[in-house]
Structure 1
Amino acid sequence: MAETHDGAPHVLVIPFPAQGHMLPLLDLAHLLARRGVAVTVAVSSGNLPLLSPLLSKSPSIQPLSLPLSHPSLPPGLENAKDMAPTYFGILMLALASLHGPLLSWARAHPRPVCAVVSDISVGWAQPLAAELGVPGFVFSPSGVLGTAVIHSLFLRMPKRPEGEGEGEGEGEDYLVPFPSIPNSPSYPLPKLSRLFRSYKEGDPLSESVRRNFLWNLESHGFVANSLEALEEAYLERPLDDLARKRVWAVGPLAAAAAEVGGAGAADDRGGPSSVPAAEVSAWLDRFPEGSVVYVCFGSLAVLTPAQAAAAAAALERSGAVFVWAARGGTEVPEGFDKRVGGRGLVLRGWAPQVAILAHAAVGWFVTHCGWNSLVEAASAGVAMLTWPMTADQHVNARLLVEEAGVALPACDGGLAAVPDPHELARTLAEAVRGERGRAVRDRAKELGRKAVEAVREGGSSYIALEEFIQELHNLNTK
C-alpha cells in the first residue's frame, strides 16, 4: 500500500530507549505509515541514529530529536543498553523532562496530532495527551499477561515480607497472588519485576516509577506485541488490572512489518552481526532438521563467569549441536571452541538471530524469555528452553511452559542462578532426542503456523491492527 498522508491521522509516537522496547514500537510505526497514517517519532538526541533503519524503509515518517539532560543521568547515557539495570527507573524519570518540549512542539506544529502512542515505560505521555486534548495509547513490547502483572503490582501494591524481596532469591517462599488475572496465577516474590521489588514508599524515584505505570491506566487503550494464539485467555475479556481498557494484539510485529516489505525482523537493527547470516546458515546446512540448539540471552544480559562455565559444560556434555551467541562480554571458557569441534559454533557479539531461528536445522532455543526473542521464536516455530532472569521473563517462561506447552524449563533461579551442568546437559539431550521434546516441538511448530497466519490478511493480528487504525481515523474526524 502506498504511503499517503493527506487528511490522514497524525500520530506522535514516543518510544522508550531500550532495545527490546524500541524495535517493536518502530515496527508498529512502520505499519501505521504503510497504511496511510502520518507518524512523528520522538526520541532524545542520542537515540536519533537508531531510527535510521526505520526511516530508510518509511521515509514519510518524521523524526523529532530532542535534547535530554537530567542530573541523575551520567552525561551522554541515553539508552538502557549503555547502563546498569539499576538505571532503568532513573531513565524513566529523566525522559519525563521531554514532556514540556513535546507539548510546545505539538502546539506549534501545523499538523495537529490526533493521538499519542507511547511505550509502557513512558506513562507521563498520558497527561501530555490530555493537555493536547487527544487520546493516548499505551504500547506494550511485552505480552498481555506480563503487562497486566506489572500494572497489577503498582495498582494493588501487595505487601512484602518485612526486609525481603529486594535482593535476588529473597522471599522465594512468599507467593504474590493475582486474583483478577485469568487463571489467578501467583508468583514467588523474586520472580517479579525488580522495579516493584525495589519500591520504597515515599522515595521520589520509586514514586515516580509507580506513577508512570498508573498513568498508563488512564489511557484510551493498549496495543500489544502479542497474538491470540499465544494469549487468548488474556484477550477474551477486558482485564481489571488494565483498567478494563481495550487491548489490540497486533503481533508478532517484526513478522507483520516483514510482510509489507519493511525493516521488521531485520537482524541488523540492533547492530552489525559479528558473523554474516549467510555464513551461519551455511554452517547450519550441515545438520538435520530440528537438531540444533540456539543459545542466546538477549541484548542486555551478560552471564557471570560461573553461569557461562555451567552453560558451556552443559553444552559440551549434552552432545547437542549448537550455536551460542555470547553477547555483551560473556566470557566463554578458554579452549571451549576447540573442545566442541565441529558441532558447536560460538558467535561473539551480535548474532543474526532471526536468520538462525528461521533455519530448518534449529529446533530449540535456550532463551532468557525476553518478549522479543520469544515472539521471534514463536514466529519461526522453534521450541524453547527457558532461563528467565528478570523483568517479565519469569511470567513469560510460565506462559510458555505451563500454558502454551511450547517450552521446557532449563534454569529458573534469576539473575544470579547457576544451573547444575549435569541437569542442564540432561535437559538439552532430552529436548533434542527425547519423546517429551518431540511433543513440545510439535506444539511449537503449530504455534509458528498460527503466528504467521495471524499477521496475514484475515488473521487475528491483521484484523486488530486494521481496527486500531480505524480507531485513529475515527479520532481524526472528531
Structure 2
Amino acid sequence: MSAGAHVLLFPFPALGHLIPLLDLAHHLAIRGLTITILVTPKNLHILNPLLSKNSTINILVFPFPNYPSIPFGIENLKDLPPNIRPTSMIHALGELYQPLLTWFRSHPSPPVAIISDMFLGWTHRLACQLGVRRFVFSPSGAMALATMYSLWQEMPNAPKDQNEVFSFSKIPSCPKYPWWQISTIYRSYVEGDPVSEFTKEGMQANIASWGLIVNSFTLLEGIYFEHLRKQLGHDRVWAVGPILPKETIDMTPPERGGSSTVSMHDLKTWLDTCEDHKVVYVCYGTQVLLTKDQMEAVASGLEKSGVHFIWCVKQPSKELVGEGYSMIPSGFEDRVAGRGLIIRGWVPQGWILSHRAVGAFLTHCGWNSILEGIVAGVPMLACPMGADQFVGATLLVEELKGAKRVCDAANVVSHSAKLARTLMESVSDESRVEKERAEELRMAAVDAIKEDGSSDNNLNAFVKHVLGLGSETDEG
C-alpha cells in the first residue's frame, strides 16, 4: 500500500462525534487508505470493535492534557459536569498541537492529510505548518453546519432579550430561532467565554480548511449542501452519510457499547414479546441530563399514555441530584411494570429502532439519532434540547415532514398532557401518513449508502482525492 495514502483521523471525544468518525475510518480503510486514529487513553476501548475488523488501522495515543477546569480523569464530553462549558475540552485538546507536530516530523511516512472533527479547528493551522491538507469532519448535518458557519462569518451580537428571534436570511428556507436556541458554542463566545478567542479561531479555521466531509446525504439535504459550497467558495464537500455501523443496517446484535442495566438478551426477550410497531423508544442522547421537573413531566406523559415503551435514561451523579437534576421518580417503575422498560446507561439504539416492535421514537433530535431513526424507518417525535438539535428538528419536522414536534427544552414540563396524547397517537392507526413518510426517508437513506449510491460514490471520490494528494507528496 502506498505511503501516500496515509491519513490521520482526530475525533472529538464525545460519543456523538467519535463514533461516526470511527465508522468513517472503517469505510476509508476498506477502500485502501492507511489510517492512524488519535485518541486519549480512556477512549481507547471505544475503538475495539473497529480494530477487530481492520488490521490496517493504526492507533496514536496521547495523554489528555492537564487543564484547570476539567476534573482529573475526564476525557469524554459525556462525563463533563454540566457547570463546565464544552469549550473547555475544545481548548484543552489544543495543547496537543506541539506533540502532534513532533509526531508528524519524526514519522517515516507521515499522513498526507488530517481529517479532524469540527470542534478541532486548530488542526487547520497545524496542517498548514506541515504542508498537508486538513478536512473538517462534521457529525452534524448540512443545514446545522450552514447555520453555524453563518454565525462565525457574520458575527452577530447578542440581543438584550434571549427570546428575540434571529433569522438566517441567506440560508435556504430562511430558518429562524429565538436567540437561546442558537449554537451554544457561539453564544458562549459572545457572552465572553474565557477561551472565546481560541474557539472563534477554530471555528473560522473550519471555513478556511481544504475540504469538508458531512455525515448526511444529498437527497436529505441537497439545498443545504449547495449552500455550503457557495459559503465555502469551493466544491470539496462530500456527503457520505448516513455513516452507521453494519449492525444498524442489517439488524445484527451490536458489537460495541458501554455498561447498561439491561442485558442484550433481556432487551431482545422483552421486545420480542411486544406487538409490531406498538413500542415507543424514548432517548435524549448521551449528553442531556433532565432536570427534576423535566424528568417528572416525561415520566408522567409516559404513564398517562398507556403505551409500551423503552426509556433510556442518563443518570446524574449524587452531587448533581442536589443541584436540580433527578433520578427516575419514586414508584414510577412499579406503576409501569410490564409495559415500560427503563435502561440506565448505554443502549444499542440503532438495533432497538430497527426491531419490528418499535413504532415511534421520542428524540432530542441529535443528528446521529435522526439518522438512526431515518435508517430504521421509524416515525419520530421531536423534542430538541440544545446544541444543533433545534436545527435538526426544523429539518425533520418542517422540511422533510418526517417527524411531529412535541415540545422543546423550555416547555417539556408544561406539555406533559400533550406528550401523553402524542405518544398514544404515534403507535395508533392515526399515524399512517407518518409511517409512509418514514418509509420513504428510509429508502432514500438505504439508496444513498448502497453500491453506486450518492454517498458511496462520494466516499470513493474522496478516497481518489486523497490518493491524488499522496501522489503530489511522492512527486514533491
Name the TM-score, length of structure 1 as normaliser.
Answer: 0.91
Please list, as runs of the form range in 1=range in 2, the aligned pairs for 1:350-429 lying within 5 A after superposition.
350-414=346-410, 417-429=412-424
Output the amino acid matched with 1:461: S
4+ long deviations beyond 6 Å: 256-259
- 1:347-399 C-alpha deviation (Å, 9 max, x unpaired): 22222212210101111111111111111111111111111111100100111
1:477 matched to 2:471? The reply is yes
Q: Deviations over 1:239-278 (max 9, x none)?
A: 444455532111111146977x9xx997453413432233
**Aligned residues: CA RMSD:** 2.2
CA 257–361 in structure 1, closer or farther in 2 if over 3 Å, else same: closer
SS at match of 2:244: helix
1:15–1:21 CA contact under 8 A, matched in 2 = yes
Distance 1:347 1:74, change over 3 A: closer
| Of 169, 191, 204, the match for 1:179 | 169
Alignment partners' CA distance in 1, 2:40 and 2:329? 39
Residue identity opposite 2:294 in structure 1: Q
| 2:199 is aligned with 1:196 | no
- Alignment counterpart, residue 274 of structure 1, candidates 253, 261, 264: 261
Alignment partner of 2:286 out of 293, 296, 299: 299
Moved more, 94-103 or 326-335: 326-335
The match for 2:311 is 324
Residue 287 of structure 1 aligns to a residue whose secondary structure is coil
Report sequence identity in percent: 45
Structure 1 residue runs without a partner (length 5+): 165-170
Alignment of 1:302-313 (within 5 A): 302-313=289-300
Quote the residue 1:51 is aligned against. Answer: 47
Superposed, which structure 2 residues align to 1:147-162 within 5 Å?
A: 147-162=145-160
Residue equivalent to 2:319: none
Q: 2:56 aligns with which of 54, 60, 63?
A: 60
Query: 1:418-454 CA deviation, whole Å, 9 max, x = no partner?
Result: 242211111112222253x221121111211221221
Conserved? CA contact 1:290–1:360, under 8 Å: yes
Q: How far apart, CA to CA, are the structure 2 residues paired with 1:244 and 1:176? A: 27
Count of aligned residue pairs for this structure pair: 461
Taking structure 2 as the reference length, what is the TM-score of the superposition?
A: 0.91
**Cα pair 2:7 2:113 within 8 Å, conserved:** yes
Alignment deviations for residues 59-86 of structure 1 (CA, whole Å, 9 cap, x no partner): 2211111122233433222211111243
Tell whether the 8 Å contact from 1:228 to 1:235 is kept in structure 2 after alignment.
Answer: yes
CA spacing shift, 1:177–1:244, aligned 2, 3 Å = farther
The alignment status of 1:76 with 2:67, answered yes or no, reads no
Where does residue 217 of structure 2 map in the other structure? Answer: 227
Contact preservation (8 Å) 1:201, 1:207: no
8 Å CA contact 1:274, 1:348 repeated in 2 = yes
**Number of the residue aligned with 1:167:** none
CA contact (8 A) 2:362 2:381 kept: yes
SS of the counterpart of 1:388?
coil
8 Å contact 1:222–1:245 — kept in the other structure? Answer: no
Residue identity opposite 1:183 in structure 2: S
Asked if the contact 1:28–1:257 (Cα under 8 Å) also holds between the matched residues in 2, the reply is: no
Q: 1:465 aligns with which of 450, 459, 473?
A: 459
Cα deviation, residue 210, structure 1: 1.3
Identify the match of residue 91 of structure 1 among 89, 96, 102: 89
Partner Cα distance (2:194, 2:308) in 1:
50
**Aligned partners of 1:367 and 1:386 also within 8 Å:** yes
* Alpha-carbon offset, residue 214 of structure 1: 0.3
1:102-143 deviation per Cα after TM superposition (whole angstroms, max 9, x unaligned)? 111111101131111000000011011111111110000110
- Residue by residue over 1:222-242, the C-alpha shift from the partner in whole angstroms, topping out at 9 and shown as x without a partner, is 101111232122124544444
Indicate conservation of the 8 Å contact 1:26/1:54, yes or no.
yes
Question: Contact 2:183 / 2:388 at 8 angstroms: preserved in 1?
Answer: yes
- Contact 1:12 1:113 survives alignment (8 Å): yes
Contact residue 305 and residue 331 of structure 1 kept, 8 A: yes
Map residues 10-159 of structure 1 onto 2, 5 A cutoff.
Answer: 10-67=6-63, 68-85=65-82, 86-159=84-157
CA distance in 1, matches of 2:193, 2:379: 42
Tell me how far 1:462 sits from its aligned partner: 0.6
Closer, same or farther: CA 274–452 of 1 in aligned 2, 3 Å:
farther
Structure 2: gaps (5+ residues)? 317-325
Of 381-390 and 41-50, the range deviating more from structure 2: 41-50
Kindly tell me: are residues 204 and 307 of structure 1, through their superposed partners in 2, closer, same or farther at Cα, counting changes over 3 Å? Answer: closer
Amino acid in structure 2 at the alignment position of 1:269: R
